Chains A and B, each alone.
Chain A
């Protein structure tokens, strides 16, 4: 009997924990409310299945527990019941998969008006690059990387000259404008993860990955690395400042371009 009580309390306890506990996702700050919606649908469907299955099992254990004289029924199979359960399960799975795939389609289709921002990761810090007035990022190659050229940009590429370089500092983005994050890593795998944005993606050395989102509220958000990248993994943090357009432009004006950076470094020592 203790087992029945335990099973029922597992269900009740889990549901209460889900409803009452203070641990839940941080408030969203991007356009990916769809992801939250799909997650909620999944929570409902799986929650109902979990409760039903465990409570039904508790009932069976209580109702058919061994008592003297009891005999089990000989019951090899029941085609109709099994087919019915299969169909219901398939429907439930489809109800989760369909919205998931639709949202994924959305997730992988970058809108044409998205601004491009490059995230540049190395052990264990984040740097960023934004296109200048020409609206294009210049080419880059790790073989060109040195102390005067921390992101390895191509000095002979005219598109690279006006690229704004933010080295190991906060990233600023304007609110309400879609942005395509282009991801590049210099050494090992990293993963750009801001919990409030919901989106994340690995940075892979040797290739360029991407994802997109639209910030929907201003504020300061923490960037974490979500792919084990060595001993400094847990301290590989950064910040994104989401600002109103005017504040953002003011910040942007204060940043160094690639050309300025090269001038100052060649003039320095």
Chain B
């Protein structure tokens, strides 16, 4: 049972935040292009991320065609390595990071904490434009002589800046590094906004423990990103110096094709430490917002409070903190001191505990719920399946000795696509189906949504589940051709062809999803202000879509947490966060 403090509402506590009105757009340009409205910036961010993500999708098709049908399709190794590199980098950084923090972060943070906008709207706008510039620099690398870099998304030196790698001695690697540096600068501007808005922009009554888990996830991920991206920045700047100015931060004495180079004395391992000090938190920078969002989707669509809210918050924070001391589990066979293996295997497997708690709590939220099998709920279920699968294979790779035979094989590829490709994508899809009515005022087409869901879920599982076994059989990753490999059974080629066909189908259905996004904005069924009957604040705006400034003259006042669903005795099966039931509302 809930105890409701029945306090006399005669004394109104002073507002925690002075109400500031966001700057108004004065011209067409400042309204539609250089907008400072976080909701509009969110759409700009998401649109750009999806557009560049489409490029990465096509690249994945091309490389799958080569792997599945080596007799029919034959790209040069240069082209193949450029495909995998750009596919990986775009998906991880320019799509997933950008859409979760720049897209969902911008749209949801002010609405969910009851703010009018981000605290620094101008900086927020700048963040997007720098991100766009980073994307354009990245795209430019496709058109320079030598093409984009083909060093793999990890960009390991020394090969990344040598002539044996596509783009290594050409402009490709330079543009890649510049683009990343720009991305990090742009992200830092946005990240400051997200963090400060959560800390300082919350409306009256919105204590930390009343925030929806979406906000907890995005907030923690933002703080992590602010601390982790500098590591990538440092690595990129130093690598750029090595490439352009001839320093030897990462470059040892080496002889390339019989030619001794000017470099000497540096250590490639230092780059790997820096890269993974960013790279591992990056996994959680993508995963934590997904964790948060999926918690809210499950709770709303099962009409039940999220089970173990406190534990969920602690798990998010705990995972965030722990993820800074596990980076070297990507380096078990890198030649670092072997005794690091003991430490990093232990910390890595400890992370499994808070992560498992989150999974249990999602499922226990379904327990005795009132499960509506809407599209967001379907995608949430798919998320749990793919995330549990990918998370469990992480226990193979995190356990140092099991990682030795599996590292750098297709098992790794299958693992991280399952856990940080598919799982977050399922959440992104679920979240779009969930919040689209708030953004546009219309529902997405349900029939197209169902096709999208089934093909994506079943198809993607069929791509990545068998791929683990190809890796187990000993197929290394990043092989443009397997050639004649005696220890493999011939049937691996057949399995590869099957995976390629599945990948083509799953990719194609995403095009239909994008069509649905555009089509439903015009022709979708009208949604009303709160179609899912959700309790959190973004559904209580006076207008749908919310106008500039989000709220009417008064900011909303929050009386409760975001999960009052099916509260016994309540008139409806949800109580909105700004509903004072059963007390009287505060008279401002």
* Residues in A whose Cβ lies below 8 Å from that of B252: 204-207
Beyond A35-B405, A53-B388, A226-B409, whether A204 also contacts B370 by CB under 8 A is no
Contact between A53 and B307, CB atoms less than 8 A apart: no
Interfacial chain B residues near A224, Cβ < 8 Å: 476, 485
Known: A24-B472, A89-B356, A188-B159. A104 touches B349 (CB 8 A): no
Closest to A47 in B: B392
Interface of chain A, main secondary structure: mixed
B164 touches A193 (CB 8 A): no
Chain A nearest CB, measured from B229 CB (Å): 24
Tell me, yes or no, whether B158 is within 8 Å of chain A by CB: yes
List B111-158 residues whose CB lies under 8 Å from chain A: 150-152, 156, 158
**Given A186-B254, A205-B254, A100:B385 Cβ within 8 A:** no
Closest A residue to B362 using CB positions: A57
Cβ-closest chain B residue relative to A1: B373
Q: Which residues of A contact B54 (CB under 8 A)?
A: none
- A230 to B149 CA separation, bound complex (whole angstroms): 11
User: B528 an interface residue at 8 Å Cβ cutoff?
Assistant: no
Interface presence of A82 (CB below 8 A): yes
Chain B contacts with A in 263-287, Cβ cutoff 8 A: 265-269
Across the interface, A54 reaches (CB within 8 A) one of B81, B156, B385, namely B385
| Other-chain contact of B307, A50, A75, A89, A237 (Cβ < 8 Å) | A75
Among candidates A23, A57, A97, A147, residue contacting B495 with C-beta atoms closer than 8 Å: A23
Establish whether residues A73 and B566, one from each chain, have CB atoms under 8 Å apart when the complex forms: yes
Contact with B along A14-54 (1 / 0, CB 8 A): 10011001111110000010110011001001100110011
Instruction: Say which residue of A72, A122, A222 sits within 8 Å of B485 (CB atoms).
Output: A222
Tell me which residues across on chain A come within 8 A of B474, comparing CB atoms: 25-26, 195
Is B385 a contact of A10 with CB atoms below 8 Å?
yes
Stretch at the interface among B7-15, B39-47, B334-342, B513-521: B334-342
**Complex Cα distance A206/B251, Å?**
8
Alpha-carbon distance between A111 and B461 when the two chains are bound, in angstroms: 44
| Interface membership of B185, Cβ < 8 A | no
* Interface window among B19-27, B95-103, B200-208, B297-305: B297-305
How far is B147's CA from A231's CA once the two chains are assembled, in angstroms? Answer: 14
User: Nearest Cβ in chain A — how far from B277, in angstroms?
Assistant: 18
In the complex, residue of chain A having the shortest beta-carbon distance to the beta carbon of B357? A86
Q: Which residues of B from 160 to 196 have beta carbons under 8 Å from A?
A: 162, 164-166, 168
CB of A12 to closest CB in B, whole Å = 13
B268 touches A189 (CB 8 A): yes
Q: A6-B458, A74-B566 given as contacts; is B473 within 8 A of A23 (CB)? A: yes
Q: Which residue of B lies closest to A188 (CB)?
A: B159
Q: Is B407 interfacial (CB-CB < 8 Å)?
A: yes
> Please, which residues of chain B bring their CB within 8 A of the CB of A123?
164, 256-257
CB proximity of B148 to chain A, nearest CB, Å: 14
Least CB distance, B523 to chain A, in whole angstroms? 26
Are B81 and A74 in contact, with the CB atoms below 8 A?
no
Interfacial chain B residues near A114, Cβ < 8 Å: none
Residue pair A64, B152 in contact (C-beta under 8 Å): no
Q: Which residues of B contact A261 (CB under 8 A)?
A: none
- Against B, the Cβ 8 Å flags (1 = close, 0 = not) of A230-242 are 1111110100000
A22 touches B400 (CB 8 A): no
CB of A85 closer than 8 Å to a CB of B: yes
Q: Are A207 and B352 in contact (CB under 8 A)?
A: no
B77 touching A228, Cβ below 8 Å? no
B:388-415 near A, CB below 8 Å? 388-389, 392-393, 395-396, 399-402, 404-405, 407-409
Across the interface, which residues of B come within 8 angstroms of A252, CB to CB? none
Residue from B166, B334, B389, B402 in contact with A39 in the complex, judged by beta carbons closer than 8 Å:
B402
B573 touches A72 (CB 8 A): yes
Which residues of chain A in 206-226 are interfacial with respect to chain B, using CB atoms and an 8 Å cutoff? 206-207, 209, 220-222, 224-226
* Interface contact A189-B158, CB-CB below 8 Å: yes
Among A23, A39, A75, which residue has its beta carbon within 8 angstroms of that of B304?
A75
The answer to the question of B481 belonging to the interface, with a C-beta cut-off of 8 Å to chain A, is: yes
How far apart sit A186 and B68, CA to CA, in the bound complex (Å)? 34
Whole-angstrom CA separation of A35 from B427 in the bound complex: 35
Q: Are A82 and B308 in contact (CB under 8 A)?
A: yes
Task: Give Cα distance in the complex from A154 to B178, angstroms.
Answer: 42
Cα distance A194–B166 when bound, in Å? 27
Q: Enumerate chain B interface residues (CB-CB to A < 8 A).
A: 1-2, 76-78, 81, 150-152, 156, 158-159, 162, 164-166, 168, 252-258, 260, 265-269, 302-305, 307-311, 333-335, 338-339, 341-342, 345-346, 349-350, 352-353, 356-357, 359-361, 363-364, 366-373, 378, 381, 384-385, 388-389, 392-393, 395-396, 399-402, 404-405, 407-409, 457-458, 461, 465-466, 469-470, 472-474, 476, 478-483, 485-489, 491-492, 495, 563, 565-568, 573
Q: What would be 29 A-B contacts, judged by CB atoms less than 8 Å apart?
A: A3-B373, A3-B378, A6-B458, A18-B469, A23-B473, A24-B472, A25-B405, A25-B473, A64-B369, A66-B372, A72-B368, A72-B573, A74-B1, A74-B305, A77-B308, A86-B357, A101-B400, A107-B338, A123-B164, A142-B254, A143-B253, A187-B162, A187-B255, A188-B256, A189-B268, A193-B408, A200-B405, A206-B254, A234-B480
- 9 tightest A-B CB contacts, nearest first: A206-B252, A230-B164, A195-B474, A209-B335, A108-B338, A188-B159, A46-B392, A72-B304, A226-B408
Besides A38-B402, A123-B256, A200-B333, 9 other A-B contacts (C-beta < 8 A): A10-B461, A49-B392, A53-B384, A53-B388, A60-B371, A187-B162, A206-B266, A207-B335, A233-B480
- Which residues of A does B touch, CB under 8 Å? 3, 6-7, 10, 14, 17-18, 21-26, 32, 34-35, 38-39, 42, 45-46, 49-50, 53-54, 56-57, 60-61, 64-66, 70-78, 81-82, 85-86, 89-90, 93, 96-97, 100-101, 103-105, 107-108, 122-123, 142-143, 145, 147, 152, 183, 186-189, 191, 193, 195-196, 198-207, 209, 220-222, 224-235, 237
